[in-house]
Amino acid sequence: MYNLPVTASERLVDAARELLWERGYVGASPRAIQQRAGAGQGSMYHHFSGKPGLALAAIRRTAEEMRAAAERALGGGGTAYARVEAYLRRERDVLRGCPVGRLTMDPDVIADEALRAPVDETLDWLRGRLAGILREGVVGGEFDRALDPERTAAAVLATVQGGYVLARASGSAAAFDAAVDGLLALLAGRRTA
């Protein structure tokens, strides 16, 4: 699985990330994490205070990677519309769902303030980043002044998260693509040039 030497703590975090995405908090048992990581119980408890500590490290890593992937698309050159489009059309494993968004449906994550914090922070960051780009488009005259950057950013985020749900429900990425196409058509209708 690993080509370069990777520490046991890294293997444990990677295994926890995958299992949280696949099975949720309850399904990511310490035994399953240890088996997937090829690490023993002693190694897990040497590096982490227990399952909550390991889960928090895994959620933070997932959130960091999601922000980095979003920023690669949003931080590129071009118009505000082009940057939002790049974010919406970036490569994703749509049928697996969003690794951060899925955590919002996990009652154990939502009930734990520490585990929920990186999820909230990531979604808030993304909404804010999108709103900033859309605001640039309004101020620069690309979009008409009636476009509300904050509400539109919330709609972009909701479209992505809802698109994942629709794709998983139908078993087809086409549902995600249709949601993105619809949102981009609405957004294009607000362009002034």
CATH topology of domain 8-188: Tetracycline Repressor; domain 2 (1.10.357)
Parts of the chain with a pLDDT under 70: 1-5, 193
- The conformation of residue 145, written as its DSSP 8-state character, comes to T
49/170 Cα distance (integer angstroms)? 40
How do residues 108-155 score in pLDDT, each as one tens digit? 999 999 999 999 999 999 999 999 999 999 999 999 999 999 999 999
Residue 132 token pair:
């900033």
pLDDT at 63: 96
Residue 144 token pair:
């008409």
Q: How far is CA 52 from CA 22, 99, 157, in A?
A: 17, 17, 28
By the 8 A CB rule, do 54 and 37 touch?
A: no
104/121 Cα distance (integer angstroms)? 12
